[in-house]
Structure 1
């Protein structure tokens, strides 16, 4: 299911609808957009905005040059938040793919796992279905949690690690921290009023 979620997110984000029958494309595109919006609604609560996030998209670049698709949330003409994917490098069994929501003040609205290959019963506790650990990021920002505390407790930080599994939560915490750095580095572009894609930007 997580792999399917990542596929939906990546497919719609890239706009790669390689569908054979042209008559079926609108219906399939609509279904993919609905699935994407369902994912985004988990990290940007629907009651906060009145637009379709999947229709307000920016393409930025990370500090490493990797494209980052950003979905913007608006209330009327006001930009109130963003959703984008981040990658936790150094997971126990490989990268951990996440999607996170951030409000206009740089506060985390939510984080969810898109894909991982961590050990069942140990590292997979990053999934909301397995534990509520992933909810510990909600409401946090660099304003209310110093950068030096964005680590697991074993490393002197704030976040719990799992019994027998420190590597996975460590990778996720760093990914969310990097996601906030990405927000901080790209605020001018993120808050631009125009609805057009751009390839500028730094950070991840």
Structure 2
């Protein structure tokens, strides 16, 4: 009987700790969620402005967006956000938030900025899980590698050049890490292909509630 009593008390205590712990986690999440969201939005805006400086457009690119889908070229079956820059109502640049699905440690989220004429304004990595010291050289803060895409286009370089040098292409790989840059190069070229096929659709005026499908 004494043993059963102790077991019952232990069970009650454990249950109480679980309830308190769950409540504490929920409370912390509720308190920190707005700050986390604000930080993520600030980081996104910083990346967007690094690709399209505010002086090159006069619209709010965080509001002028469209959702598109193309699992093959955009790297995910989920809707992809496209941010659209305009000047005096005319299209300037589209920034596609695409996925490189085949990174060494999983998905790599990219912002691919493409000028209206099809030339790359630049590329930024906004989220990844690549190996520190190797694959994380795709970060703009860690190396200049990601800046090598600026000025490129679907035909510059030629199709065979859209590979890392190890595969006979024009893009550098990292020492000890070829999979990561290979995945990014492929994703950027796929984004350019998608843009070339859907440019007019991407800049079509919308009420931001539609989900355009490729």
Structure 1 residues 1-204: aligned runs within 5 Å: 34-63=42-71, 65-202=77-214
Q: Compared with structure 1, are the counterparts of its residues 125 and 36 closer, same or farther at alpha carbon in structure 2 (3 Å cutoff)?
A: closer
Change (3 A) 1:197 1:145: farther
CA displacement 1:129-171 (0-9 Å, x = unmatched):
1110000000110133222211101111110001111111001
CA distance in 2, matches of 1:47, 1:89: 33
- On the 8 A contact 1:53/1:73 being kept in 2, the answer is yes
Change (3 A) 1:185 1:132: same
Moved more, 180-189 or 117-126: 180-189
SS at match of 2:188: helix
CA 1:162 to 1:191, structure 2 compared with 1: closer, same or farther past 3 Å? same
Q: Tell me how many residue pairs correspond in the alignment.
A: 180
Q: Which moved more, 1:110-119 or 1:140-149?
A: 140-149
Structure 2 gap segments, 5+ residues each: 1-28
* Aligned equivalent of 2:7: none
RMSD: 2.4
Highest Rg: 1 or 2?
2
In structure 1, stretches of 5+ residues that fail to align are 1-18
* Aligned CA distance change for structure 1 residues 90 and 30 (closer, same or farther; 3 Å): closer
Distance in 2, matches of 1:54 and 1:148, equals 35
Deviation at 1:193, TM superposition (A): 3.4
Q: Which stretch has the larger CA shift, 126-135 or 60-69? A: 60-69
Contact 2:154 2:193 in 1 (8 A): no
Runs of 4+ in 1 over 6 A off after TM superposition: 27-32
CA-CA distance at 1:32 after TM superposition: 6.4
SS in 2 for 1:53: coil
